[in-house]
Each structure stands twice: as structure tokens, then as C-alpha cells.
Amino acid sequence: MHRPESEEELISSPGVEVRWVNLRKEGPKLPGDQAALLALAQALVTWNNNNAFCGRTGAPTAPMQGGHARVAASPRARVVYPRIDPAVIALVSCGNYALLGRQARWAPGRYSCLAGFAEVGETLEQAVGREVSEESGIEVDPRSVCYVASQPWPFPQSLMIGFMASAAPPDRSKAWALARQRLQVVQHMCTEEEVASTLVEELCLQQPRVDVTELEDARWFHRSWLSRRLSPAVSAGRDDSELQKDTASTASVDFSIPGSYALAHRLIHSFMSSQQQPGEGNSSFWKQDVREVDIDEHGTYKYVLLRLESKDSSESRLLVRGNCRAGYHKDVLELANELDADSTSQLVPLGGGRIAFNEENKTISIYGYSSAYDQAPHDITAVLVRRSYPFHTVSVSYSGY
């Protein structure tokens, strides 16, 4: 059998269909062992092409050990080996929130963990803190940085080293003071635990300050939203990047993460499956298929903040319900009772108001009051809505009707 002498002859050989592809795009479609073999080949080809001459003497080099090393000709034989660039990648969390960012050159809606190369003279843990701070403005608790796994990344010669980390500890007393200041304008029936798991938790988040030379965007995503958007892709055996828009929430918003081949995928799913924070337990009551926020995604309408309580335990959760068809706030409650409550649970109204949802401008305004259930603590409602609509601007006003 004739063996082609060149790339041109290979491509033009009769009966042979050959096309050159981008390994970075096509590699994830291959079985793991094949993808790993091609990744190794990619790294070696790139390294051999870039090291045709000795960096110290300028002498030509020749491959040895099957391309895993090169030797300089003379005056003294010097063997050089491939070098690896260590790059850190980290999933930074704060309570139930995960920090994800995107680069402008990525596909629309693609978000991932923050990453960057380690510099001379710093530990990998220090590299995590520096990169996250430089790219997003979020300060990391250096004591929280914990190694997870690593992945060769031959584009061109990196080793991705994955970590989980937490944002710097917040001043919870300051957050509580601000929460009480916001809520003093309304008499509300929410418990301290409910305020802590919503408004206080959000106030503890550091606000990203994105370096636009590095990232196009960086923002916090709540665990429940990530689970809703990404879990269906996993259960169906599909790549997360192929997940269609979730019409049940955040309509017209594309969102994806790197596929299962990537270390970022593992870090994000590790966060999603990690121990949940207080207020999101794992009992059968919490596993009910009840969405936290169920509102119409257009128009102005009445809404009610509700507490869904278990009749046989002390467990509860907050829900936001609103729709354009309701003439009165009681209509919203009646519909919620039909859809969300059952023989084991009951709904308690905690106040009402209005929601103005403008999908075109990606804005959601929460305001007004309910003559039947009094005024809802809109700031708490806004936290729940922001969790379900992270790409929308949510505003609050206690005026209006």
C-alpha cells in the first residue's frame, strides 16, 4: 500500500476523504481516549514547530524520543523538553451564588469560571486570588482556595489547575443593618431566616467590577437558577452548550457553559451538587416541582409574595406569583393554591403589589401594594426575581398603587 509523502498527496488520494479540522472545536465530540491522544499530538507538534533552534545558543535542534524532546546540534549537545504553562481556573462562590464570566470572543451566552496564568514567584493559590481580582474585582478569601483537579490544555501548552474558592468573608452585621433599613418602610411577615436567606445573602455579595480588557461580563448566578438551566441537559445526555433557551424563565436569554470535556464544567457542576445553604434543604418537601418565581414575562400586573408551608413540619419557602389575568390579588392566590399547594402544604400571603415586566428592555419594576394583603416587602421579592432573571435589571419602589 502506497504511503502518502505529503499532506497534499494525502488529501488528494483516490477514495480517501480527508479534511483538516480545528481540534479545539472537534475534540470534544470524540471519545475521551481519542481526544487525549490528539491533544498530546497537538501539544507536541506545536512545541516542535516552535523549538527548531536552541534558545540558548541558536543552534538548530533535531527531534528525539519520538518528538518528546529535541537536541541542539553543537557545540555542546543540549537536550530540551516541552515546557508547560500552569494556568489556574476557579469557581468562586458566595453562599448560594457562583461567579461566572465571559469573553467577548466566545459564543453568545457562553459563561465559564475565571482563569489565568500563574506568574513567576507566586503560588497557585495566590494566582487564583490575583486573577479573580484583576478580571472581576472580586476579592477571594485566600484560606478558602481548595484544589479540585487538573486538565492538560494543549492550546498551546497549558495545564489547567482547577480550584474551588469563596469570596472574601462579608460583613454580615452591615448587611443586616442595611436590610433592616430597606425593610423598615413596610410591615412585613417574613421571618429572620427568610430575610437572611434572601436580602441579607444578596447584600453580602461583592459587586463585580469587570476589567473590559479581559472579560466582557462577570456576574453572580444563584445555585437554583444554574440547576434549572443546566440539569436538564445532563439528564438528557446533551452537552450544556446545546441546551435550548429555558422558556419557563429568562426568555430570549441564551446561556451555556463549556461542555463535559472541560474542567470548568466539572467545577460548575460540583458547585451545583455541593451542600446547599440553610433555607434550601434536601427533604422531600423541598424536592417538589415548585418554581420559586412564576410570573408573566410581559405587561403590568398584580403579584403576591407567598410562603409555602409544610403542614407536618416547620419547613417553608418563599414564592412569587403574578399574572396578567388576575383582576385582584386574591385571584393570584387562588391560582397559586391550585397549582402549587397540595394536601401536605399550604400558602400564606405575605403581601402584594405590582410588577411591570419589559422583556424588550430587560427591566422588571416591582412597586405598589395590595388592599387585601397589605404591601409586600418588595426588596425580598426583588431578590427572588433577580435569582430567576439574572440578566434583567430589577428595580423597587414602595410608592404607587
pLDDT attached to residue 8 = 54
118 and 259 share one domain: yes
CB atoms within 10 A of CB 37: 12
With contact defined as beta carbons under 8 Å apart, do 344 and 315 qualify? no
Q: What is the CATH number of the domain that holds 344?
A: 3.50.20.20
Residue 38 structural domain:
15-80
Q: Say if 184 falls within a structural domain.
A: no
Q: How confident is the model at residue 14 (pLDDT cuts 50, 70, 90)?
A: low
213 and 318 share one domain: no
Helix (H) / strand (E) element for 128: namely: helix 124-136
How far is Cα of residue 124 from the mean position of the Cα atoms in its chain? Answer: 22
DSSP designation for 7: H
Residue 5 has pLDDT above 50, yes or no: yes
144/164 Cα distance (integer angstroms) = 8
With contact defined as beta carbons under 8 Å apart, do 399 and 367 qualify? yes
Q: Say if 8 falls within a structural domain.
A: no
Q: Phi and psi for 7 in degrees, rounded to 5? A: -60, -40
Final residue of a structural domain among 223, 244, 273: 273
pTM of the model: 0.85
Residue 59 has pLDDT above 80, yes or no: yes
Q: Say if 27 falls within a structural domain.
A: yes
pLDDT by residue (tens digit) across 125-144? 999 999 999 999 999 999 99
Q: Say if 4 falls within a structural domain.
A: no
329 and 213 share one domain: no
Q: Say if 154 falls within a structural domain.
A: yes
DSSP for 107-121 reads PTTB-B-EEEEPPTT
Tell me the torsion sign for CA atoms 65, 66, 72, 74.
Answer: positive
Q: Decide: helix, strand or coil at residue 86.
A: strand
Cell of 123: 503560588
DSSP designation for 169: P
pLDDT attached to residue 314 = 83
Count: domains in the chain: 3
75 and 89 share one domain: no
148 and 243 share one domain: yes
Q: What is the CATH number of the domain that holds 245?
A: 3.90.79.10
What's the full length of the chain, in residues? 401
Q: Say if residue 232 is preceded by a cis peptide, omega within 30 of 0.
A: no
The separation between the first and the last C-alpha atoms of the chain, rounded to the nearest angstrom, is 85
pLDDT attached to residue 295 = 98
Q: Say if 336 falls within a structural domain.
A: yes
Listed in sequence order, the residues at least 6 apart from 10 whose beta carbon sits closer than 8 Å to its beta carbon are 4, 16, 18
Computed over every residue of the chain, the mean pLDDT equals 87
DSSP designation for 68: T
Q: How confident is the model at residue 235 (pLDDT cuts 50, 70, 90)?
A: very low
Q: How confident is the model at residue 42 (pLDDT cuts 50, 70, 90)?
A: confident
DSSP for 175-193 reads HHHHHHHHHTTS-----HH
With contact defined as beta carbons under 8 Å apart, do 340 and 348 qualify? no
Q: Phi and psi for 320 in degrees, rounded to 5? A: -115, 125
72 and 145 share one domain: no
Cell of 67: 518528538
128 and 248 share one domain: yes
133 and 230 share one domain: yes
Q: Say if 282 falls within a structural domain.
A: no
297 and 268 share one domain: no
With contact defined as beta carbons under 8 Å apart, do 71 and 61 qualify? yes
